[in-house]
């Protein structure tokens, strides 16, 4: 055993300095991000897109307590006269917001967070700090050792947040791009190519956080890469047919996987297990696949989407039976089948009858009782149990709007359901009462606001208060489709006031 005199002393801890916030930059390669940021503004918006709720939890803690965690200093490295935040990017984002709540320029992020940020800052008894005590690491590699050891547990948004599988994947590939997995490359590709498609990015973030390992299985299947047209090489992925042609199927797939379960009620891991499962799933959306329009005169997948898409872009030109049929297809009358130019003589898939509402709806910010009511309602068959479903729909709208308004400090919640719902919508979108625009340009919340009148919600009220008139399944689906976006937005924008 070596003598004590021959051993090296312990390495000293990183020196601690107090720096102006103006000198500290966000890390453009932050492991939380689905892709590398291109600028400080991009990094700021990516942080809110990927960890906005956790940032708001932390900002709430900072503005209420007026102090930082003394046992957990941010770590920076010096770079060209400035400092790069290696550990503490979420804290830096919160401090920037505290100093300037108007920093959120993106409209979607602003609608989601600006009101809450303004309220937290206004209610704070403390002034926003302009300096930050940090540990200055000699190099990124020195900082990496401690950063990777740290992110193994969490205490909600106010504490250290554990890295998920996607973040760990990005961390491994940070200094060695050859270690990038197909799933990481896929997420980065979709995030980069569709940065102007907020619906795709929102669904992608849900999938990245909740079902990243399933995305790994999805893109690891050669049949998936072949049908969608995904090329993977040297840690990077690209679209064989181009981003625009691939957009319809990507929007559909990401939108599907953002839901907790498939239409069958199974988890996606159980729904798509074998190679044939993946093949059948994609063939269900054959009209959206980028390579589906090789014959002259056939519409491309992008054209199919533009010519009539529903939510998720899964519709195309239809024949009389309502199933997708390219314009170049030739019908055969024998047996009701169709003969396409590619020689496929199989009959079109029948359109399944819709049977459920609230499938995949997550209201995790509401009370456990409300969550259980939504779950049980989603299991009921509307075609057979429409009376029960209509009653539950009315009760769920009533209770969710009440909790949401109370969480935002409303002392006198309206008793009338229409007023209660409209007040909730106006908390989320203060401009919801503005005039309606075109159908394509009008947000769902604004449509719901203008549809919520005493007469408009009477069908909901009758479900509980009328002993004679029943609700048809079609009426139940119409009301559910109108108010499901409202429920989702209430869940995403829940206030911080305690509910008595």
β partners of residue 79: 82
136 with 192, same domain: the answer is no
25 with 146, same domain: the answer is yes
128 with 194, same domain: the answer is no
144 with 24, same domain: the answer is yes
DSSP SS3 for 324: strand
CA 184/CA 196 separation, integer angstroms: 20
- Per the structure, how many domains does the chain have? 3
Residue 159 lies in a domain: no
376 with 461, same domain: the answer is yes
133 with 203, same domain: the answer is no
* pLDDT the model gives residue 171: 60
475 with 377, same domain: the answer is yes
235 with 310, same domain: the answer is yes
87 with 196, same domain: the answer is no
434 with 388, same domain: the answer is yes
146 with 190, same domain: the answer is no
134 with 197, same domain: the answer is no
Residue 248 lies in a domain: yes
* pLDDT the model gives residue 198: 86
Residue 342 lies in a domain: no
Query: Smallest Cα–Cα separation from 128: which of 87, 157, 93, 100?
Result: 100
Query: Smallest Cα–Cα separation from 77: which of 68, 87, 69?
Result: 87
Judge whether 160 and 153 are in contact, CB under 8 Å.
yes
| Geometric angle at alpha carbon 456, from 419 and 430, rounded to 5° | 45
Q: Tens of pLDDT along 342-399?
A: 444 555 555 567 888 998 788 888 999 999 999 999 999 988 898 899 889 989 999 9
DSSP SS3 for 338: strand
Residue 162 lies in a domain: no
Residue 38 lies in a domain: yes
Residue 464 lies in a domain: yes
DSSP SS3 for 495: coil
Boundary of a domain, candidates 315, 331, 347: 315
Q: How distant, in Å, are the alpha carbons of 196, 277, 463 from that of 202?
A: 11, 26, 34
Q: Using the Cα atoms of residue 105, residue 107, residue 110 and residue 115 in order, give the sign of their dihedral.
A: positive
Residue 176 lies in a domain: no
For residue 129, the enclosing domain spans 16-151
CA 253/CA 285 separation, integer angstroms: 9
Residues of the chain with pLDDT under 70: 1-4, 148-180, 292-352, 434-442, 454-471, 500
CA 183/CA 169 separation, integer angstroms: 9
Cβ neighbour number for residue 429 with a 10 Å cutoff: 18
DSSP-derived pairing of the beta strands 330-331 and 230-233: unpaired
DSSP-derived pairing of the beta strands 75-79 and 82-87: antiparallel
pTM over 0.85: no
Residue 498 lies in a domain: no
């Amino acid at each position: 055993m070596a003598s004590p005199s021959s051993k090296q002393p312990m390495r000293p801890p990183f020196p601690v300095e107090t720096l102006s916030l103006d000198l500290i930059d966000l890390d453009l390669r932050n492991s939380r991000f689905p892709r590398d940021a291109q600028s400080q503004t991009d990094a700021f918006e990516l942080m809110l897109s990927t960890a906005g709720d956790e940032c708001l939890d932390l900002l709430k803690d900072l503005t209420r307590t007026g102090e930082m965690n003394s046992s957990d200093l941010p770590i920076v490295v010096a770079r060209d006269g400035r400092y790069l935040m290696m550990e503490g990017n979420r804290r830096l984002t919160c401090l920037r917001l505290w100093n300037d709540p108007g920093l959120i320029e993106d409209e979607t992020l602003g609608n989601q967070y600006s009101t809450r940020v303004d309220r937290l800052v206004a209610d704070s008894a403390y002034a926003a700090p302009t300096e930050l005590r940090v540990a200055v690491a000699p190099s990124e590699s020195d900082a990496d050792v401690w950063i990777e050891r740290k992110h193994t547990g969490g205490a909600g948004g106010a504490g250290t947040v554990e890295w998920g599988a996607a973040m760990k994947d990005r961390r491994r590939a940070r200094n060695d791009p050859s270690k990038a997995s197909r799933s990481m490359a896929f997420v980065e590709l979709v995030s980069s190519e569709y940065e102007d498609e907020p619906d795709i990015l929102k669904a992608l973030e849900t999938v990245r956080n909740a079902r990243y390992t399933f995305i790994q299985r999805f893109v690891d299947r050669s049949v998936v890469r072949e049908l969608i047209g995904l090329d993977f090489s040297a840690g990077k992925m690209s679209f064989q047919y181009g981003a625009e042609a691939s957009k319809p199927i990507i929007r559909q797939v990401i939108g599907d996987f953002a839901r907790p379960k498939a239409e069958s009620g199974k988890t996606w891991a159980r729904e798509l297990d074998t190679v044939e499962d993946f093949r059948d799933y994609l063939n269900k959306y054959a009209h959206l696949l980028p390579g589906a329009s090789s014959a002259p005169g056939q519409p491309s997948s992008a054209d199919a989407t533009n010519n009539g898409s529903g939510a998720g872009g899964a519709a195309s030109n239809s024949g009389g039976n309502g199933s997708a049929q390219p314009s170049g297809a030739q019908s055969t009358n024998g047996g009701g089948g169709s003969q396409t130019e590619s020689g496929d003589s199989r009959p079109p898939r029948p359109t399944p009858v819709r049977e459920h509402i609230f499938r995949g709806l997550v209201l995790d910010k509401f009370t456990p009782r409300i969550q259980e009511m939504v779950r049980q309602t989603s299991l009921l068959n509307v075609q057979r149990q429409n009376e029960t479903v209509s009653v539950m729909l009315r009760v769920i709208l009533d209770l969710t709007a009440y909790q949401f308004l109370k969480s935002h400090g409303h002392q006198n919640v309206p008793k009338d359901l229409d007023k209660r719902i409209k007040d909730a919508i106006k908390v989320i979108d203060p401009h919801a009462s503005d005039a309606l625009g075109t159908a394509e340009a009008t947000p769902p919340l604004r449509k719901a606001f203008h549809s919520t009148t005493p007469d408009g919600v009477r069908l909901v009220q009758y479900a509980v208060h009328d002993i004679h008139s029943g609700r048809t399944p079609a009426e139940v689906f119409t009301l559910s489709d109108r108010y499901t976006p409202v429920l989702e937005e209430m869940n995403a924008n829940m206030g911080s006031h305690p509910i008595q």
